[in-house]
Structure 1
Amino acid sequence: MTERELFDAYNKDVYRTCYYMLRNKQDAEDICHDVFVTIFRQDWKDVEHTRAWIMRIAMNHCLNLLKRNQTQREKQEQIQWSHEQTTASVKSIDTILLEKTVAAEWEELLKQLPDKLMAVVTLRYIGELSMVEIAEILKIPVGTVKSRLHKALKILRKKLESNNNSWLKGENQFGTL
Structure 2
Amino acid sequence: MTERELFDSYHKDVYRTCYYMLQHAQDAEDACHDIFIMVFRQQWSSVEHIKAWLMRITMNHCLNVLKKKKTKRDKQKLVQIQHDQSAGLTKTPDDIVIERAEAEEYATLLHQLPDKLRAVVTLRYSSDMSTAEIAETLHIPAGTVKSRLHKALKLLRRDMETNDRLHMKGEKTLGIH
Between structures 1 and 2, the one with greater helix share: 2
TM-score scaled to structure 2, two decimals? 0.48
Q: Could you say which structure has the larger radius of gyration? A: 2
User: TM-score, with normalisation over the residues of structure 1?
Assistant: 0.48
Higher relative contact order (CA 8 A, sep 6+): 1
